[in-house]
Amino acid sequence: MIYTLQDINAKEYEGSLIFLYGDECAERNLPLGRKEVESVKRKVESGKNFVCGFDRLPERLYFVKFDSERPSAEVQEGLRRQAVEVLKMMEKDGIKTVALSGEGTLPEEMIAFVEGLTLADYSFDRFCSKERFHVDELKINAVYCTQEELDFQQRLWNRIFWCREWVNLPVADLNATQFAEELQSVAEGFKNVKCTVMDKRKIESLRMGGLLAVNKGSVDEPRFVVLEYTPSNLKNQNNPIVLVGKGIMYDTGGLNIKPDDYMQEMKSDMAGAATMASVVFAAADNALPVHVVALLPLTDNRPGFNAYAADDILTMYDGTTVEVVNTDAEGRLILADAIAYAVKNYNPRVIIDAATLTGAAVRAISTFGIAAMQQNAEKELEMLKIVGNEVYERLVEFPMWKEYDELIKSDFADLRNCGSTPQAGTITAGKFLAHFAKEVPYVHLDIAGVAYFTKAQHYFRTGASGYGIRLLYAYLQMQ
């Protein structure tokens, strides 16, 4: 989609137009004829939010009425969702170029609508022989933002696009080595992003027992990728924010192989890594003055060769020994090595991980938000909750009570990689990871319910969502 800024007089504009109508205003300010005004009045009487279309043959007018009196975050989210309705109408009408203006509409409300239209317009097309509908050009009334502000938003949306592309790609087209090469290629486009790719030999020398164990069943080598963004105007030089992303390129469950259709969509098990890489690149794109490091352990989890097995005891990067109870609890093993690496090498101000970690998180809160936990990071998690509510990528905090430690104690090693009971699966996974953060402030984000949708949800079509990028980007903006 091409975005342009133009001076648009909605009443005189001759092309197809989307018109946002927020605060009540005089009828003469609306780009409507008499009969259209009467139609809008009838709809307003039945509800404050609606979308309707009017023929302006051969063009169309899409009239979006929204309730501007609600809390700002709800208003903006409502506009994102109304953008989906407009997009469906445009597809039906075959309208690919459209202008956007409004009345009684704030700049941030206009941008929220554009964001919803942008996110909804994405689909994973590269393997489709039939061309799908997409908006070609969106002309935005220049009174609502500057070119600089629009470019700023576009760069963020572009990173969400590429995150979704990476997550949607099957492992046959994007394995650990290929993803590492892709990340290195992107990083080369920035003078202030350093990409270090560690191969299997280097990982062995570091004794990352979790990452190496999970990789034992795969023909593809693992990679450990470090992305470090160091702006010239950074504020936190000695204490970077470290982002850790789960990079299981495909998860069969290993020898504890997944049953039935549970293996479907397991190409998305690297969404945490794709998310964290995208956040770093977005920060670099817009020159945020924050020192950020992303640590991305990458491998697939297969049942082949000399695959690791239940009852194995692993020695992790920091020397902790772990009894393997279930090979399908592999994500926490590779994350643990990365978190321990962060503690030892970066003196982080905070470690934040993102992972499609547990089905228990989905069962607990469904597909409407992120299950979050913290250790020594009350302030950081509270800030993430605040910005999560603002961008509508919301967090639900789970407890990290000391009693849960009992569930991951092992009779044969320091820890077991699964809880001793089927209850509290999301929390015991977080507790396991918190062990490796030691005293460093640590936030765990389980994005299992929101990283990939098996059916369209609001402004996300089927497939990868990029959920979490706007959350973490907004968090970095507040530093």
Active site residue 302: no
CA atoms within 13 A on the CB side of 81: 14
C-alpha distance from residue 434 to each of 34, 409, 438, 441 (Å)? 64, 14, 7, 9
- In our burial notation (b when 16+ CB lie closer than 10 A, e otherwise), range 69-106 reads eeeeeebbbbbbbbbbbbbebbeebebeebbbbbbebb
Token pair listed for 447:
């994005």
Q: Are 110 and 102 in contact (CB under 8 A)?
A: yes
Angle at CA of residue 388, ends 368 and 243, nearest 5°: 100
The single residue of 332, 349, 461, 470 carrying the catalytic annotation is: 332
For 463, phi then psi, to 5°, come to 115, -155
The single residue of 43, 70, 96, 258 carrying the catalytic annotation is: 258
Token pair listed for 29:
């300010």
**What's the full length of the chain, in residues?**
479
Q: Which of 253, 245, 278, 257 is nearest to 352 (CA)?
A: 245
| Cβ-based neighbours of 292, under 8 Å, separated by 6 or more | 228, 229, 240, 241, 242, 243, 279, 280, 283, 476
Active site residue 258: yes
d(CA 202, CA 199): 5
Question: Taking the alpha carbons of 431, 436, 440, 444 in that order, is the dihedral positive or negative?
Answer: negative
The separation between the first and the last C-alpha atoms of the chain, rounded to the nearest angstrom, is 31
> Alpha helix (H) ranges present in 349-424?
359-365, 378-391
Residues labelled as active-site residues:
258, 332
